[in-house]
Amino acid sequence: MQSYPIVVDSSGEPVAVLEKVFDATITDQLITDTNGQETLEFSIPAEDSKRQYIDNETHIRCMGREFVIRIIEDIRGQDGELITKVTAEGLWYDLGDPEPLNDLVFRDTGPRPVMEAILSGTGWVVGIVEITTPRYFSITEPTSPLETLRQIPLVYGGELQFDSINRKVNLLQQVGRDSGILFAHKKNISEARRIIDTRGIITRIYPYGANGLTIAAVNDGKEYIEDYSWYDAVGKPHKLRAATVNDERFTNPNHLKQWAEQQLAKLSWPAITYEVKVALLGEEIPALGDVVIVYDKEIGLRQKMRVAQRSINVLEPYNSSVQLDAALKTLSDQMVYTGGTGTATVTDAVQQAMEDVVMFNLLFNSRADDGFNYWINQGWTVDNTAGISGKAAFVAEGQLGVEKSMSQTVSVANREAYTLSAQVELDNVQMGSNGRIGFEVTVEYEDGTSETQFIAIG
């Protein structure tokens, strides 16, 4: 089913479905303090009867988000045909228009009350807030609500997400999820490009807060912090690359140090980005921030990465493209297969496993994000602080003579092979005479037969 743009009225009710549009593209990007976009562009024949509904500041809904038309161009091509080209911006851009905020000061306050104050009177509300750590937040110069919101992650951490249909602003630990989607050369990658840029590396930061505040009092007398982990990882000698950062909002040296450590963790590694053009079906387009697996042996792509930007072809999703950023800064990000240079290699078996890996995680709620939803649970618990790819993890404490299990039934397509992967931590395990730890997989076939395999661990 194609997602045609829909003109809506002021209450969000549909007015016209634009079935004759072409070259329809949504471009979106993760929101940061300086970046982040969400635009819709499309063209429509000027003679189409629905053209009458297209006007500046008209609202358009498409693919679960709302846009506002900003630019309309009527163009006559060389063939004499008259077309209308439309550019629309995400509804949340309008948060840059209201009366600017001034003298906004919160001391030792979590982000939710701050966001509520920022959005007051805008028609938007605060949605999900996953961060509660108190901080000092202030705006001393006239600043729009949108620009003020962009400062929230700088002070509190996390990432912003705009829900334009429901007029909500979320602050998440990290936008997106671990999707389990695989992008592989000769499978669904048509073009891939990796860029490693070391020009912006910083290894030492001198952070300063309000009135010249330093971190010396909480940092063994030193006014700076250092991070040479990238140089250690690649076996290069340390190089001092210092910078000073100032933020007058910080009056607590502990908060200032925590903030500086967050900045240095990013700045001390090269900027590593990937541009990947992939073949997609509409329902398979990963969301912004989703973690995906990318594998291309020839240029050394073999890791998990995050979707940082997308260019979605609304009518032909298979012509969409995504831009990826490294999800985790690791040495493997920069390993290139260059023969006898000492760079790491993987065995043919691992390469083949990556080629054959199923493209989706078929298990629902595999990271315990939603407790035990979708699982039949006997004796397990959820630890909301022990997650690896997410915040939570499933935990079981062994008990002699007692079986503890979790199970889930999934419906799958017909394939010759599936891959089971998990990260498991075993601690102080003492097995009974009939004890076992592992994964039991039962496969039911269309002819009514079944077979069970047990994969032991530990």
pLDDT score recorded for residue 130: 95
pLDDT score recorded for residue 83: 96
pLDDT exceeds 90 at position 180: no
pLDDT score recorded for residue 328: 43
For residue 94, give the 3-state DSSP assignment: helix
| Residue 186 backbone class (left: φ over 0; alpha: ψ -120 to 50; beta: rest) | left
Q: What percent of the chain lies above the pLDDT cut of 70?
A: 85
pLDDT score recorded for residue 350: 35
pLDDT in tens, 343-401: 223 333 334 434 444 334 567 677 787 787 768 888 899 888 777 656 788 999 888 88
pLDDT exceeds 90 at position 71: yes
DSSP state of 374: T
pLDDT score recorded for residue 2: 63
Q: Which CATH number applies to 178-196+271-356: 1.10.3210, 2.40.30, 3.40.50, 3.10.20?
A: 2.40.30
- CA terminus-to-terminus distance, the chain: 47
pLDDT in tens, 271-293: 877 776 666 644 467 889 998 88
The DSSP bridge partners found for residue 274 are 194, 324
Tell me the average pLDDT of the chain: 83
396, 383 Cβ separation under 8 angstroms: no
pLDDT exceeds 50 at position 80: yes
pLDDT confidence tier of residue 241, bands split at 50, 70 and 90: very high
Instruction: Give the integer Cα–Cα distance in Å for 117 and 152.
Output: 12
Tell me the average pLDDT across 192-219: 90
Specify which of 302-306, 310-314, 374-378 reaches the highest per-range mean pLDDT. 310-314
Instruction: Give the integer Cα–Cα distance in Å for 216 and 207.
Output: 10
Tell me the average pLDDT across 155-171: 95
Q: CB-based burial of residue 171 (10 Å sphere; 0-12 exposed, 13-18 middle, 19+ buried)?
A: buried
Tell me the average pLDDT across 111-118: 97
Output 109 or 446, whichever has higher pLDDT: 109
Length of the chain measured in residues: 458
DSSP state of 270: -
Instruction: Give the integer Cα–Cα distance in Å for 364 and 201.
Output: 39
pLDDT exceeds 80 at position 46: yes
pLDDT score recorded for residue 28: 95
Instruction: Give the integer Cα–Cα distance in Å for 132 and 156.
Output: 8
Tell me the average pLDDT across 176-191: 78
- The one-letter code for the residue type at 214 is T
pLDDT exceeds 90 at position 454: no
pLDDT score recorded for residue 353: 37
Q: What percent of the chain lies above the pLDDT cut of 90?
A: 44
Q: Which long-range contacts (CB under 8 A, 24 or more apart) does 335-341 make?
A: 335/300, 335/302, 336/299, 336/300, 337/297, 337/298, 337/300
- The one-letter code for the residue type at 174 is Q
pTM, entire model: 0.61
Tell me the average pLDDT across 124-136: 94
Instruction: Give the integer Cα–Cα distance in Å for 278 and 275.
Output: 10
45, 20 Cβ separation under 8 angstroms: yes
pLDDT score recorded for residue 341: 30
Reply yes or no on domain 97-172 having CATH 1.20.58: no
pLDDT score recorded for residue 329: 45
pLDDT score recorded for residue 358: 38
| Residue 9 backbone class (left: φ over 0; alpha: ψ -120 to 50; beta: rest) | beta
Tell me the average pLDDT across 137-149: 92
pLDDT score recorded for residue 399: 86
pLDDT score recorded for residue 414: 53
Residue ranges of domains in the chain: 6-92, 97-172, 178-196+271-356, 199-267, 362-458
> What is the DSSP track for 386-448?
--SSSS-EEE----TT---EEE--------S-----------S----TT---EEEEEEE-TTS
pLDDT confidence tier of residue 322, bands split at 50, 70 and 90: confident
pLDDT score recorded for residue 359: 38
